[in-house]
Amino acid sequence: MLGGISIWQLLIVLGIIILIFGTKKLRNVGTDLGGAVKGFKKAMHDEEKADDKKDTDEPQAKVGHEENGNTYDVQAQEKHTEHSEERK
């Protein structure tokens, strides 16, 4: 017994589901579900292979910083002085 449900109750429910949806639609759902599970297993297996090939000593990302020598405040101040000279 599965949690108080007998085999006869399961067969009755299965029969009702077959009457409602039909065997063709249930077969298509089963095929789609099986294909999805197969694709998921393949993706997990491919990911494990990729992790095995990856070298753990290599850095995962490179961070770069380019310094141009001026900050925004300096550039704004220079721009402000240029405009004030033009007005004179």
Domain total in the chain? 1
pLDDT score at 88: 57
For residue 66, how many other CB atoms are within 10 A of its CB?
4
In a domain, 32, yes or no: yes
**Integer Cα distance of 21 and 32 in angstroms:** 15
Q: Is residue 66 part of a domain?
A: no
- Whether 3 is in a domain gets the answer no
Give a yes or no: residue 46 inside a domain.
yes
38 in a structural domain: yes
Residue 80 is predicted with a pLDDT of 60
Domain range enclosing 44: 25-51
Question: Does residue 47 belong to any structural domain of this protein?
Answer: yes
Higher pLDDT, 27 or 85: 27
Assigned token pair, 23: 């065997």
Specify if 78 maps to a domain.
no
Q: Read off the pLDDT of residues 32-87 as tens digits, 9 standing for 90 and up.
A: 999 999 999 999 888 877 766 665 556 566 666 666 665 556 555 666 666 666 66
Among 3, 32, 30, which residue's Cα sits nearest to residue 14? Answer: 30
For residue 43, tell me if it sits in a domain.
Answer: yes
Residue 16: predicted pLDDT: 93
Amino acid 70: pLDDT: 58
